[in-house]
Structure 1
């Protein structure tokens, strides 16, 4: 009996040791390299013109990620014009993938219909360093009904509209652009250009800045005021600010400061073309240096307002984990590494040192021909900017100034509020048709607002505007109660 009991105990001990070993190997899969585990291949869809050297760079990436998190990465680039449509087809078909770039309205719609994974818990368990590195405004602003469905790129958190001036003209006529505090303040400068520079168009076509927090697209009439009562959604085409601004734009149009075909022109006005005086752009710190390099001559900048954090500024570049991912934990580990590890972030963004770029003084870099020709990636879409290497002509305090810019950015009323359009989809489609008819001519000054605004507002109401405003207010009030 004693001999049988001893044999049983030995077998039991052997079995428990075997089970413990098995369970230990499985537990190690989500962090680092487990003995005998096959690396998980992460499928990552990104936006941008497919680059010749992607596979060459990803080979180096995979050496590193295999060692760090026991995973490899297959990057699949889709060109700018095709990206959104192809991603929608993939999502609709239920195709399995791990990570995809998304932004703005597409991020919200796909999250709301269950295409992306809720990352609240994953961020705490497999993305702790990433969570600490992200500006909290990104996490707060990208949450939909309290759930985070993607990792925003850590960059400028706010938006700031600025007037950008052709500095050659500013210097030639000794203009004081710091005195431009409003649209009306442009009048004497535009007149000078019109009278003295016949080959120049004073205004490179732009839509004026208006003090509103738009709920949907900026040509649709729904928005919350940024001043006064910021808790009520309004039809901006009925506001005093809109009428005043459009009157000024129409005055500019009649004076010949704006192109005659501004309402219908779809041609971009590239910086490289010099025959313009002022344009509107969205700013980030030191953007004037980038714009000047691109133009081949100097530009000067005057802010229209202080930086403001909007929903579309925090969701402008996001990496989402697909609901179809076979290993979302490993996908989050990769995003954690990408956004916190300078070597990996620079490798994916800048390419291979000595092939695509080289280091120069003080740890700064300059591009080699292969980067321009074969690995020119869209930096904004790829992750944390604050751990990227500086170029040799970048200011040394670039990232410190970015952080100050973010700290100074004021939250708009609807940050974190995402409108569910399903109850009023028919009305929004009809209102969009009205906006596409009236917004371009009105916002470019091409028509008299005293004649055309009443016509637009009549058609908006007939299309169901009041019903949409009521639904928006109802959803906003409910959201506000819980936030």
Structure 2
């Protein structure tokens, strides 16, 4: 019924596509967009002057973002809504799901049938799950070309392909290629020097740092944990996956080697590498490497590092670069630095679905929602507002492509506005050279592999995936945080519980899909 209503609604709108003016965009940006459209086969021809979408009816769109509500929300979104109202006669009312509990509240929005139009999503924030459950509107080529003409022209075809699930697109992905999924460490260089430690460039040298801080620095936690809703230790990305060249699939402990042409799937908990890592974690836990409250941790790791409460943390280079810039300004005596624990490993560049926005399947105004997304990603004035706040208040523009943060930058930039990453992004003039050096080095180590865009459809094993997730939380997380006295016995229990939960059935289904995916690529 909903599809029929949607079809009727669309049929009442003029069929020709429209072009929204890119207010504030330079000629270079506009030309780049047109060139991108021609290069990738997307339509970029201008319609007749009278081919306009009817926006005479004002609409208010409900949008859901991840992260805390910005202190200056009213000020910035007031200006955003003023611009949107002038351009497409629409305004945004935004709800924010805090980082500490978004993963629980996010699926409830769909399950409860809440009324909203737009929502942040990504390959790590339930894009696949909600798309397969019917939570997102399918974005056909016709819809995108008609209601998002600038995005359609600017977005390379490969990015739309990366966003496809079973051949269909359900999100408007980011349009930027400068983000890495690999993680590294931010640490206090002054403490490294204080205890005459070796440079951090491996799991062993990092362990020495953590243990030195634990032993000598009272009141400082060596490693800052992220929120405890993760089903694995948040160092696993570096010490298990990056180190061994593995890619783990979603929220289950199944992985494949990225350089394996056959994509053979295995259970990471059954590997000798994981067993060795457990011994590493247990020793760190016993020596005070992190808080013993790992299972209930709800802290703000970023804030704790800036406040000097923790001596190191893990994140991607973009996030850590921003934190490093702040710390260098506020506490230059800390000599904060970045460390890659797997410097020789292959690096992974984020695919387009790392960040994006989807339209709720029940949206009453999907066409206007798409028009708003088109502007936020491609209109220079609106893009600057959603990404950086008010010029002169939250940031100072430097030329067309750089900016300098003011002291009030954090009063707006606290949420998932990376959803609109695009070629219009500005570069922070204070982004540390150390982070730029990491990006440059990693760019030469990026490894593209056949399964890079593979997405697991878990619809046939939903119960098993849920059961396995529960087992990971109940038995796996305490084990990885060194809270189980007998590690060998704990691992044996974990493996048995996974068997009972249906891990073998998930692995068989995953392998079947990977085999089909690779076979299709070979055609």
Instruction: Determine whether 1:210 maps to 2:249.
Output: no
Instruction: Determine whether 1:424 maps to 2:461.
Output: yes
Q: What is the CA deviation profile of residues 170-199 of structure 1, one whole-angstrom value per residue up to 9, with x for unaligned ones? A: 232444425x23x23435445554565566
Instruction: Determine whether 1:299 maps to 2:336.
Output: yes
2:240–2:273 CA contact under 8 A, matched in 1? yes
> How much does 1:147 deviate?
1.7
Partner of 1:12: none
Q: How does 1:54-69 map to 2 (within 5 A)?
A: 54-68=73-87
Partner of 2:254: 222
Seen in structure 2, the aligned counterparts of structure 1 residues 292 and 242 have a Cα distance that, compared at 3 Å, is same
- The 3-state SS of whatever aligns with 2:80 is helix
1:273–1:295 CA contact under 8 A, matched in 2? no
Partner of 1:476: 514
Seen in structure 2, the aligned counterparts of structure 1 residues 417 and 173 have a Cα distance that, compared at 3 Å, is same
Partner of 2:24: none
Q: 1:41 aligns with which of 40, 50, 59?
A: 59
2:281–2:480 CA contact under 8 A, matched in 1? yes
Structure 1 residues 112-121 or 31-40, which shifts more? 31-40
Q: What is the CA deviation profile of residues 6-56 of structure 1, one whole-angstrom value per residue up to 9, with x for unaligned ones? A: xxxxxxxxxxxxxxxxx9994568445859851552514032434565455
Partner of 2:118: 99
Instruction: Determine whether 1:244 maps to 2:263.
Output: no
1:201–1:277 CA contact under 8 A, matched in 2? yes
1 CA distance for matches of 2:153 and 2:14?
27
> How much does 1:225 deviate?
3.0
The count of corresponding residues between Structure 1 and Structure 2 is 452
Seen in structure 2, the aligned counterparts of structure 1 residues 267 and 451 have a Cα distance that, compared at 3 Å, is same
1:365–1:389 CA contact under 8 A, matched in 2? no
- The 3-state SS of whatever aligns with 2:264 is coil
2 CA distance for matches of 1:281 and 1:400?
16
Seen in structure 2, the aligned counterparts of structure 1 residues 50 and 461 have a Cα distance that, compared at 3 Å, is closer
Seen in structure 2, the aligned counterparts of structure 1 residues 173 and 140 have a Cα distance that, compared at 3 Å, is farther
2:348–2:447 CA contact under 8 A, matched in 1? yes
1 CA distance for matches of 2:349 and 2:405?
34
2 CA distance for matches of 1:445 and 1:344?
47
Seen in structure 2, the aligned counterparts of structure 1 residues 171 and 430 have a Cα distance that, compared at 3 Å, is same
Q: 2:193 aligns with which of 171, 183, 186?
A: 171
Q: What is the CA deviation profile of residues 399-457 of structure 1, one whole-angstrom value per residue up to 9, with x for unaligned ones? A: 99969866753346643333233322333333233222221232123444333222221
> How much does 1:346 deviate?
0.9
TM-score (normalizing by structure 1): 0.77
Seen in structure 2, the aligned counterparts of structure 1 residues 481 and 49 have a Cα distance that, compared at 3 Å, is same
> How much does 1:237 deviate?
0.8
Q: What is the CA deviation profile of residues 57-88 of structure 1, one whole-angstrom value per residue up to 9, with x for unaligned ones? A: 445434544554x3322232234267666665
Instruction: Determine whether 1:73 maps to 2:91.
Output: yes
2 CA distance for matches of 1:287 and 1:58?
23
Partner of 1:409: 446
1:119–1:147 CA contact under 8 A, matched in 2? yes
2 CA distance for matches of 1:331 and 1:357?
27
Q: What is the CA deviation profile of residues 113-170 of structure 1, one whole-angstrom value per residue up to 9, with x for unaligned ones? A: 2222222403345445425544766434322122221122345443122122211112
- The 3-state SS of whatever aligns with 2:240 is coil
CA RMSD of aligned residues (A): 4.0
Structure 1 residues 147-156 or 238-247, which shifts more? 147-156
1 CA distance for matches of 2:103 and 2:222?
35
> How much does 1:251 deviate?
3.1
Structure 1 residues without counterparts, runs of 5 or longer: 1-22
1 CA distance for matches of 2:93 and 2:148?
21
Q: How does 1:58-457 map to 2 (within 5 A)?
A: 58-68=77-87, 70-80=88-98, 88=107, 91-92=110-111, 97-103=116-122, 104-121=124-141, 122-131=143-152, 133-134=154-155, 138-155=159-176, 156-177=178-199, 180-181=201-202, 183-190=203-210, 192-193=212-213, 197=217, 200-205=220-225, 207-208=235-236, 209-211=239-241, 212-217=246-251, 220-226=252-258, 231-254=263-286, 256-259=287-290, 261=292, 263-268=294-299, 269=301, 270-274=304-308, 276-284=310-318, 286-287=321-322, 289-290=324-325, 292=327, 296=331, 297-305=334-342, 306=345, 308-309=347-348, 314-354=352-392, 356-359=394-397, 364-367=403-406, 369=408, 373=411, 375-378=412-415, 380-384=417-421, 386-391=423-428, 393-394=430-431, 408-411=445-448, 414-446=451-483, 447-457=485-495
TM-score (normalizing by structure 2): 0.72
2 CA distance for matches of 1:433 and 1:227?
30
